[in-house]
Amino acid sequence: MIIKTATAAFLAILTSFTFLLFSPTPKSSYHSLFISDSLSSNTSISRHLHTLTRRPHVAGTPANAAAAAYVLSIFTSSNLLSRITPYHVALTYPISRSLSLTPSPSSPPITFDLQQETYPGDPYADVAAEVLPTFHAFAKSGDVTGHVVYVNYGRVEDYETLKKMGVNVSGTIVLARYGEIYRGSIVQIAYEQGAVGTLVYTDRKDYGGGGGGRWFPEEKWLPPSGVQVGTVYNGIGDPTTPGWASSEECERLSDEEVEKGGDLTLIPSLPISGADGETILRAIGGQVANDDWQGSGDAPTYRVGPGPGVVHLSYAGKQVIEQIENVIGVIEGEEEPDRFVILGNHRDAWTFGAVDPNSGTAALLEIAQRLGKLQEKGWKPRRTIILCNWDAEEYGLVSLSPSVTISILYAPGFWASATPQLDELLKQATQQVKDPDNSSQTLYQAWIGSSSSPTIGRLGSGESDFAAFVQYIGIPSADMAFGKGYPVYHSMYDDFVWMEKFGDPFFHRHVAVASLWGLIALWLADAEFVPFDYTSYALELQKYMKDLEVEISDKNINLTPLFKSIEELKKAATIINNQRREIEQNEGWPSIWKKDHFKVRELNDRLMMAERAFTDQDGLFGRSWYKHLIYGPSRNDDYGSKSLPGVDEAIEKAKRLNTAESWKFVQHEVWRVARVVRRAAKVINGDLT
């Protein structure tokens, strides 16, 4: 008996010693290696971006297919299980367009050439002819003539200002400057106000450096001939296949059915340059526009019209079914292969796309290569990591499945947006990465500046890669970048030269974002407990409620149900955090073989599924694709992010109508939000998973 006991004790000691001697490298060591200088390379990122932007590569073109093949080659060489997944989607291209201006009845017409100009020494002059003629994707074909009215940024409030001035836009062609709302919203609002056509230009005040006379390639500003192209589609995904995948021989809606769907604009539109916009502005008379509607100091005085200038706009486009290609790279998880962490960025561009989107794609390829090197050293993720390079995003998120993070990089100043349960993760990760513009501090220190904590935006916009993830499915997501807004956006001048001279000359910001993006992915993939904290979500909702309470304090709207549900969410978040800590504290040597792995997985499921509980199958009123009731785009601006969008829209309508029925609908929307918040609390508590 004594011998047996001694032998058992010896075996236990030997087993422990062997476990310690041959225990695998801690995941944290691999994470530190991932962000180390030994694995990062601004040279390789620069090379990726240069390769991706050699030619214009609009969705559906051979050049974009070649870019997809390059991404696939990097994924494959980095030891990712890689493939190209094709789809066949509806895309539009311009056939013809023309624009002329008759400044006055006695003046000869001016015909605009609608060309973006190359410059002496332009290294891309030989492929400039491959840039598509300037156009709006999914624009209505048509031929219209009318007096011109200047409508500032084309917002609803701008038309309200015009009405107060006694200006009627019905039957006119409106001239709007880009910069405050989504271009599709500009055209849609113009149609609703009675306009017959829309011209959208880029004002020197916003994109040309204020009229200083220097622009790209000497300075970062958009040249006078530069045009910002883009889509005016107000929906999400292929308009001919709403709700199902666009395969080669799938069911499709007819053109008439698509038009009746309400997401296509119904009047012709065209993007034009700042120079052409100013020429038209000189032909507009009438009242002088307000000071905040004026241009830069040396610009002409802006008047609102109508006329006397008359514009003739003609546009013809074609809709075709083209093949697009998503590139997918997978590293299968070792312990939870059925749980996915997805990193995504789109590849297609309106022209060369150095900033948008391929600064993000170059960073994605850098991450792939670093992950490949980690695999060579023995690292395997706990959960599956999927790298996705989407196609046809620019047309309206046509091919997008959801993605966890995206990034574009072009100026100092880091910013991030996320669903709130990721706030703490973002803060912790930025404390591990150096500020690329000041190596003496962390990215977190640069982010917060002189404040005590960083400002984290929310993912309400309907026109970015994360939209399908957050607003349709309800999956925790984040979006991050350096810089906000850049002058050559969606123009022919968004090329490698601009990036190398003005955006990120040494590609240090690219390296920093690759480090941060990849580190967050590693933490999400490798952490035993998914690092979500719903306390942040509850606190964020409480902030929204304070604002809402003030806004409708005199309208007899009962907010108690929503207050109670938020309190339930806060309690649930506290409970699950305590449960996680309790399990972690019990993970000592004595319990290593009896640890309940099922309990860990079940807790993680609750954390992962809670975001989905904030969605509602009926979606926002009149916009059923948007299922998320906490975050969504503004009805009159797909770029705009709204908290509690359904409640917000109902309040706007009720203020306008001021009827008992309209305020009753506000109460209904409050109840809807209260129900999804309560459902999220139940999911976190384990009552609904």
Residues labelled catalytic: 393
The span from the CA of 671 to the CA of 679, in Å, is 12
Q: Which of the 8 DSSP states describes residue 180?
A: S
3-state secondary structure 246-273: CCCCCCCCCHHHHHHCCCCCCCCEEEEC
Asked if residue 520 lies in contact with residue 242, where contact means CB atoms within 8 angstroms, the answer is no
Residue owning tokens 């405050």: 180
Give residues with Cβ within 8 angstroms of 279, minimum separation 6. Answer: 101, 110, 112
Residue 408 dihedral angles phi and psi, to the nearest 5°: -135, 150
Q: 3-state class of 479 per DSSP?
A: strand
Are 372 and 74 spatial neighbours (Cβ–Cβ below 8 Å)?
Answer: no
Contact between 405 and 480 under an 8 Å Cβ cutoff? The reply is yes
What is the distance between the alpha carbons of residues 427 and 176, in angstroms, rounded to a whole number? 39
Give the C-alpha distances (Å, rounded to integers) separating 539 from 217, 535, 676, 677: 47, 6, 16, 13
Cis peptide before 105 (omega within 30 of 0): no
Q: State how far the Cα of 89 lies from the Cα of 398, in Å rounded to an integer.
A: 7
Q: Are strands 197-201 and 269-272 parallel, antiparallel or unpaired?
A: parallel
Q: Are 35 and 519 in contact (CB under 8 A)?
A: yes
Listed in sequence order, the residues at least 6 apart from 250 whose beta carbon sits closer than 8 Å to its beta carbon are: 88, 241, 244
Angle at 273 between CA 129 and CA 223, to 5 degrees: 75
Q: Cα–Cα distance between 454 and 520 in angstroms, integer?
A: 17
Measured between its terminal Cα atoms, the distance across the chain in Å is: 50
Burial class (CB in 10 A: 0-12, 13-18, 19+), 83: middle
Strand partners, 148: 173
Burial zone of 78 (CB within 10 Å; 0-12 exposed, 13-18 middle, 19+ buried) = buried
For the CA atoms of 249, 253, 256, 257, what is the dihedral angle to 10 degrees? Answer: 180
Tokens of 191: 């149609």
Q: How many Å apart are CA 202 and CA 186, to the nearest integer?
A: 13
| Helices and strands, number each (H, E), in the chain | 20, 19
Query: How far from 76 is each of 72, 384, 387, 401, 510, CA to CA, in Å?
Result: 6, 16, 12, 21, 22
CA distances in angstroms from 485 to 50, 77, 413, listed in the order given = 21, 34, 11
